[in-house]
Chain A
Amino acid sequence: MTSTLVTPPVVATQPRRGRRLTAVAPFVGRSLIHSLRDAEALLMAVLLPTMVMLLFVTVFGGAIQLPGIDYVDYIVPGVIVLCAGFGSSSVAVYVATDIQHGIVDRFRTMPVPAYGVVVGHVVAGVLRNLVATAFVIGIGVLLGFRPAATPWQWLATIGLLLAFIVAITWLFAAIGLASSGPAAANSYGFVLLFLPYLSSGFVPIDTLPAWLAPVAEHQPITLVIEATRALLAGHAPGADAYGALAWCAGVIAVALVWSAWMFRRRAARR
């Protein structure tokens, strides 16, 4: 040590009561810095949607003919939902990495709600996903996607996608807490990423085998995709939208309780 220590500064801190919400903001900032420094994840967030979109529209698109709808208009909602999953799965890895390292202990011995570290990753994940979603829509437009939605329908679309993204991101956070480490978190995520393929996202459900069609038809991702597709095409989404929202609310509630419980359990075990 070259310098003599100066007297430690007396730090004025705000009274803590009623600060629980604002106390999460620094955690969000931290997670956003992590996102920006993770060059590979950023690259994948841009490359994957581009490749998936090009693959489906230009390679499979020629072989898939749907009556009454341009295939690019059909597929964009599916790709949005698929990519929301890609973007969220990294949250599981971030959370699993944090809980394995000493830094959560540090937060838990401070006068802050330590679960904020999870909320930070979720909020950053949702923001990353919203950017990726805008990017997907942009690529879609370049490939000929022509949405017919009114401003109100756009707003409804954004709200619905936001609910879906929050739900899947929080679910991935819980998965990250439940898994034994970052590598395990990554592989559990893979299973969820398959769900969009078992939906009406890429091909109409009536083209599926009879035993698979009911599964695909009733799973929540189909509802989200159908509602998004209807809204972007300028139609009323009907019951699909309510079903999708109900599913999202349910998943958020389960993920919230599950992740909070797992966080306490994992953190207390150290």
Chain B
Amino acid sequence: MTHRNEPAVVVRDVHKAFGRTTVLAGVSLEIPRGTIYALLGPNGAGKTTLVHILSTLVPADRGTVTVAGADVATQRHLVRERISLTGQFATVDEVLTGRENLRLIAALLGVPRRDRSDLVAQTLTRFDLAGSADRPARTYSGGVRRRLDLAISLLRTPEVLILDEPTTGLDTRSRQQVWRLVRELTGHGVTVLLTSQYLDEADALADRIGVLHRGRIVAEGTPAELKARVGDERVALVDAAGTIVAERVTDGTPAGVSRALSELDGLAAERADLHVEIRRPTLDDVFLALTGDPVSNPTEDISSTDLVRRAA
């Protein structure tokens, strides 16, 4: 197939508005096959809308999108055969058990009846779900539900896996599990596009990161490139109320930290209530560094779904 030589995802100048609200204002990006791309941005940046366009759920107003070699506007069916989407809100059937959920999807995908039980059992084991396989999904914890969601998406190996905020609302242990699952996938040649509000998540997983801000990609590069622009750990002086009074960006080495501390020494001597914190850069720092705009909550904290619900 010729499309195997092209990038797995090609987005060119995509625009999308809901009513008068512009959500995407000319997004372009490319994702090479077998790599992980993280789309980083706060709520309302347009991440979910872009995900919906890529996964054929909503059409773009302008621009072209090719996913796994097929055009999302004119070859929707082909795209759907080649992708899996794990949406922001768990897309599992709550009444069915984990096993029944997987059996349903296997049947819909046309897996022959005689192979279904084996495939489902294997998948349950792969995703560490065997213990909860026969309970209704409504009784699952957030982490288990997310794993079932991923298991459903990966029942058959897609060419492109799209994950919309895969770890939002999960505890640390569940986050780590999801990260490990995603890393293992690219070993099998799967291309992953994930969205996240967490810089550490994008850093831990992605080969490339695109920073989405008010419907535009404002920065793009490898995690190392982005961190070079944003800086690594910072040493901060914090007052009793937790407000940062002053801070210095460091490289995280003992020498770097002590250099930062000595720079902050004069200030600390003046005020007795200050104490030292070492913190990692957050999404806020990224935006401050890249846009001069200290927003993790831009104009409005809404997703396209909310917008539409509100308009309805």
Enumerate chain A interface residues (CB-CB to B < 8 A): 1-3, 5-14, 16, 19, 23, 25-27, 29-30, 33-34, 37, 101-103, 105-112, 180, 267-270
Give B114-134 as 1s and 0s: 1 = Cβ < 8 Å from A's Cβ atoms: 010001001001101000000
> Which chain A residue shows the least CB distance to B173?
A1
Given contacts A3-B125, A23-B108, A30-B104, contact A8 B91 (CB under 8 A): no
Enumerate chain B interface residues (CB-CB to A < 8 A): 52, 55-58, 77, 80-81, 83-85, 87-96, 100, 104-105, 107-112, 115, 119, 122, 125-126, 128, 136, 152, 154-157, 177, 180-181, 184, 188, 304-305, 308, 312
Given contacts A1-B180, A13-B156, A102-B90, contact A270 B52 (CB under 8 A): yes
On chain A, the residues within 8 Å of B95 by CB distance are 33-34, 37
- The answer to whether A26 touches B91, judged by C-beta atoms less than 8 angstroms apart, is no
17 contacts between A and B (CB under 8 A): A1-B128, A1-B181, A5-B181, A9-B119, A9-B122, A11-B115, A12-B111, A13-B109, A13-B110, A37-B95, A103-B92, A110-B80, A111-B81, A112-B109, A267-B57, A269-B308, A270-B52
> Which chain B residue shows the least CB distance to A16?
B110
On chain B, the residues within 8 Å of A267 by CB distance are 57
- The answer to whether B56 touches A109, judged by C-beta atoms less than 8 angstroms apart, is yes
> Which chain A residue shows the least CB distance to B58?
A268
Q: State the CA gap A16–B76 with chains docked (Å).
A: 14
On chain A, the residues within 8 Å of B55 by CB distance are 109
- The answer to whether A10 touches B157, judged by C-beta atoms less than 8 angstroms apart, is yes
- The answer to whether A14 touches B83, judged by C-beta atoms less than 8 angstroms apart, is no
- Which of B52, B77, B96, B156 lies in contact with A11, CB distance below 8 A? B156
> Which chain A residue shows the least CB distance to B88?
A102
- Which of A23, A37, A180, A270 lies in contact with B58, CB distance below 8 A? A270
Q: State the CA gap A217–B112 with chains docked (Å).
A: 52
Given contacts A102-B89, A102-B91, A270-B58, contact A11 B308 (CB under 8 A): no
On chain B, the residues within 8 Å of A12 by CB distance are 111-112, 115
Q: State the CA gap A23–B108 with chains docked (Å).
A: 6
- The answer to whether A105 touches B156, judged by C-beta atoms less than 8 angstroms apart, is no
- The answer to whether A13 touches B111, judged by C-beta atoms less than 8 angstroms apart, is yes
Q: State the CA gap A106–B109 with chains docked (Å).
A: 12
> Which chain B residue shows the least CB distance to A268?
B58
Given contacts A8-B188, A106-B85, A111-B77, contact A180 B112 (CB under 8 A): no
> Which chain A residue shows the least CB distance to B84?
A109
- The answer to whether A30 touches B110, judged by C-beta atoms less than 8 angstroms apart, is no
On chain B, the residues within 8 Å of A269 by CB distance are 308, 312
